[in-house]
Structure 1
Amino acid sequence: MTENPAVTAFREYLRIRTDQPNPDYNAAVEFLKEQATSRLGLPVEIYGTSENPIVVIKWAGSEPNLAALMLNSHMDVVPVFQDKWSHDPFAAEKTEDGKIYARGSQDMKSQGMQYIEAVLKLKKEGFTPLRNVLITFVPDEENGGHEGMKKFVETDEFKALNVGFAIDESCASPLDLYVVFFDERSNWAVEVSCPGATGHGSAHMKNTAGEKARVVLDEFFDFRKTEGAKLDGKPIPEIELAKITTVNLTIVQGGIQPNVLPDEIKITFDIRVSIDEDHERFYEWIQSVMKKAGEGVEAKFIRREGKGIPTKIDESNKFWVALESSIHKMGADVIAIACPGNTDGRFLRWVSIFA
């Protein structure tokens, strides 16, 4: 049985190793350039750097002076643990029932290819958009996006594209329901250093690093428990997740051998700050924990992003109205939620672009 060309192209894209921390962007860029020129017949520009390239395919509108529509996706995917997979994560194997197994099949190479197929379908139907449509593929999203979209929106090249509205990633839904993100939590990460008295493990010393680290852990985990309780009884907790602040211990460092007290313990937390949280109040709470833990305890912020700027999801936003009405015309419903994680959409919102 002949495979649909859209599926064939999608599987080819999946086989390109763009997994972090060493994504093969060059191969991805060449693939996307071929898609633009051979399949779409559209011009393509490459921005950014060779290490972090940005692909922009442009479909010119009949009124190009209007604000453009950006259809954005990221090329990179998260790392894999090969032994945890039932299929080779980069073979894009398709089973008899049509399922495709591959890293990035949902997050988010599928959406990038859907953009291409949608434009191809419309072009075959003879449709010409009113405004420019930009299909963009960016790097580094799985590392936080700081070397990709964050830098791109600050360039003159991006500003010249005149983007007014962007569709970025969301999550897969098995129902006739589209989930769209209009806001997201702020990405914080903090490394807490707990210095202490050192000596032989048989001693009973005061002000040890372990004692100080315990205070920090107790305070952070008590806070974590309180926040988690806010989800109790919610019918779909995932929808409410962006309304709480999550605190998760990710790294613990310290000590040189079993019978020596460490002179310092470092503990790192991944923190996603609720869309409803007062950032200054939360920052002051963290500082109060440092003071409570004891002398010399400090919090070093690895990341401390500002509060998000939500996209308006009402009649004042003509782009939202168009998106919502289009989904309804397809016989589906739409639910707008704040993303519990982070996407490149936040960088677009920071420069006042609806996303």
Structure 2
Amino acid sequence: MRLITTLLLSAFLTPALYAQSNLLPVVDKTLARDIFKELIETNTTDSVGSTTVAADAMRKRLLDAGFPESDVVVLGPNSRKGNMVARYRGRSGSAMKPVLLIGHIDVVEAKRSDWTTDPFQFIEKDGYFYGRGTQDMKDSDATMVESFIRLRREGFVPNRDIILALTADEEGGKSNGVDWLLKNHRDLIDAAFAINPDAGGPELEKGRAISMGVEATEKLYADFRVTATNPGGHSSLPRPDNAIYHVADALGRLEKTSFPLETNEVTRAYFSSSSETEKDQLAADLKAVSGPVPDPAAAQRLSKDMIYNSLLHTTCVATMMFAGHAPNALPGSAVANVNCRIFPGHSQEEIRQELIRIFADPTLRVQYVTDAGEVLEQSSDRRSMAPPPLNPEVFRPLEATVQSIWPGIPVIPEMETGATDSIYTMNAGIPSYGFSGMGIDRDDDRAHGRDERIRIVDFYAGVQFEYLYLKALASQ
């Protein structure tokens, strides 16, 4: 099954050729770059940054563009965790419920020593923009703000209100902006459906777009704390029950364990559609896992690729470890964090119990860590969200916009292997769809990593995509 029947056009226009065309006016190219730079150079990490500073800056830009003060607000639970909500007023008398655009403006931590450039300086080098958030997701934040300004300058009146929410703490922290707004100011962001550019988008092979992904479901996020304890002591008298060894042995067993092979309607559709864009053994293997019963041999070959592996299994990996207090003393405890991305249909508690089984060490303590950092003895029984209905109001303009920029590429359903704020909007009854115009090469995914970057021509293609899509969406 394919979500959307694509139109095959004879011409193919690459993002580079498109971005170099005259379709993106210089004034908007400059504006988008300036907004992007301002966001990148505003530190919005949980430890020392402030989303309020970024939110205030974006509010000022919209006010300077003529948006009424009453329609652009910054609010949040404290002075550092501000969220900006802007409303672009639609046609007077329209009975259509608003559209909600959501985008987090916080970013993950970045150590200067890990990077070849300053992560909080906007660097243009070798055809790329570098900086923390260039892929995740200040690129899309910039395009949404730029599109609001551009459409207003043109005098465009949408057929309904469009709401833009730039929010805090998607990447960590105790004050998730989407969750906070839904609980405290639902009226500001209530909508018929939500578009979340934090997922999906053009998939590129060496700069050439091969498909447009749309997040239709996502894995469930969970962190687990694995702890071993013992009395410790002098390092000259090593104990056989060294806490570090206990945790290390458990993590070694996890490393060698693969969770069961699984597919669902969304991933099967993805594999089927992707098989038509690939060749030879890869195409055959993708087709072989697209049926109701996936071929184990094909799945094993595909699992050597980290992306396909994450689409076929629940994945759990050690991400942090702490132990000891002195180089000449045995550790009294050792603690590791295991991060899991759970296949839809399974709960966090189910996976916690599976980890206990894999570790096979009754002396270990396996606890669940909430998004707010609380450590609990038991996890939630909540499962991943069900895919939303395929709303033609969303997909008709999407297909038209995709074909205008990347003719001939298919629109393909995806399961997000990470986690996004769509989990909050979906749980609040707002159908949510994940896609953007920001193309990233499959082998250059640097989100959350060092030297995060986006190709300049792909950024400008994404700027034009956002503008064209919003205009088509709100003109139906």
TM-score under structure 1 length normalisation: 0.82
- 3-state DSSP of counterpart to 1:4: helix
User: After alignment, is 109-118 or 257-266 more displaced?
Assistant: 257-266
Q: What letter is aligned with 2:386? A: P
Contact 1:197–1:208 (CA under 8 A) maintained in structure 2: no
Structure 2 residue ranges without an equivalent (≥5): 1-25, 263-295, 371-378, 433-476
CA displacement at 1:4 relative to structure 2: 2.5
The answer to whether residue 103 in structure 2 is matched with residue 79 in structure 1 is no
CA deviation map 1:160-216 (0-9, x unaligned): 532221111125644443322222211111112223465555668665545643553
The count of residues paired between Structure 1 and Structure 2 equals 349
Structure 1 residues 9 and 307: CA distance shift in structure 2, 3 A? same
User: After alignment, is 272-281 or 188-197 more displaced?
Assistant: 272-281
CA distance in 1, matches of 2:195, 2:174: 16
CA displacement at 1:134 relative to structure 2: 0.5
The answer to whether residue 366 in structure 2 is matched with residue 299 in structure 1 is yes
Contact 1:14–1:90 (CA under 8 A) maintained in structure 2: yes
CA deviation map 1:263-309 (0-9, x unaligned): 4332321122122546554333234456x4134x3211113563221
Corresponding residue to 1:55 among 75, 84, 88 = 84
CA distance in 2, matches of 1:206, 1:102: 46
- 3-state DSSP of counterpart to 1:341: coil
Corresponding residue to 2:133 among 90, 100, 104 = 104
Matches within 5 A, 1:199-214: 209=243, 212-213=246-247
Task: Give the RMSD, CA atoms, in angstroms.
Answer: 3.4
CA distance in 1, matches of 2:53, 2:232: 52
Greater relative contact order, per chain length (Cα 8 Å cut-off, separation 6+): 2
The answer to whether residue 208 in structure 2 is matched with residue 132 in structure 1 is no
Name the counterpart of 1:4: 30
Structure 1 residues 214 and 20: CA distance shift in structure 2, 3 A? closer
CA distance in 1, matches of 2:86, 2:239: 65
The answer to whether residue 65 in structure 2 is matched with residue 14 in structure 1 is no
Corresponding residue to 1:245 among 294, 314, 332 = 314
Contact 2:99–2:161 (CA under 8 A) maintained in structure 1: yes
CA distance in 2, matches of 1:207, 1:6: 58
Structure 1 residues 200 and 9: CA distance shift in structure 2, 3 A? closer
CA displacement at 1:21 relative to structure 2: 1.9
Structure 1 residue ranges without an equivalent (≥5): none
Corresponding residue to 1:268 among 313, 337, 340 = 337
CA distance in 2, matches of 1:120, 1:212: 57
- 3-state DSSP of counterpart to 2:38: helix
- 3-state DSSP of counterpart to 1:16: coil
Name the counterpart of 1:310: 386
The answer to whether residue 309 in structure 2 is matched with residue 283 in structure 1 is no
CA distance in 1, matches of 2:171, 2:247: 30
Contact 1:145–1:344 (CA under 8 A) maintained in structure 2: no
Q: What letter is aligned with 1:141? A: E
The answer to whether residue 242 in structure 2 is matched with residue 166 in structure 1 is no
User: After alignment, is 63-72 or 2-11 more displaced?
Assistant: 2-11
CA displacement at 1:244 relative to structure 2: 1.7
Q: What letter is aligned with 1:30? A: D
Matches within 5 A, 1:167-186: 167-168=195-196, 169-170=198-199, 173=202, 174=204, 175-176=208-209, 177-186=211-220
CA deviation map 1:294-343 (0-9, x unaligned): 34x321111356322133253xx344434543444523532221111111
Matches within 5 A, 1:336-355: 336-355=413-432
State the percentage of identical aligned residues: 19
CA distance in 2, matches of 1:14, 1:289: 41
Q: What letter is aligned with 2:191? A: V
Name the counterpart of 1:30: 56
CA distance in 2, matches of 1:98, 1:257: 47
User: After alignment, is 80-89 or 110-119 more displaced?
Assistant: 80-89
- 3-state DSSP of counterpart to 1:293: coil
CA distance in 1, matches of 2:234, 2:120: 51
CA distance in 1, matches of 2:238, 2:128: 60
Name the counterpart of 2:257: 223
Contact 1:70–1:135 (CA under 8 A) maintained in structure 2: yes
- 3-state DSSP of counterpart to 2:192: strand
Structure 1 residues 213 and 93: CA distance shift in structure 2, 3 A? closer
Q: What letter is aligned with 1:264? A: S
Structure 1 residues 133 and 253: CA distance shift in structure 2, 3 A? same
- 3-state DSSP of counterpart to 1:114: helix
The answer to whether residue 96 in structure 2 is matched with residue 66 in structure 1 is yes
CA deviation map 1:233-284 (0-9, x unaligned): 3696525524422221223333445665444332321122122546554333
- 3-state DSSP of counterpart to 1:142: coil
- 3-state DSSP of counterpart to 2:183: coil
Contact 2:259–2:313 (CA under 8 A) maintained in structure 1: no
Structure 1 residues 240 and 266: CA distance shift in structure 2, 3 A? closer
TM-score under structure 2 length normalisation: 0.63
CA distance in 2, matches of 1:15, 1:219: 42
Q: What letter is aligned with 1:81? A: K
Q: What letter is aligned with 1:191? A: R
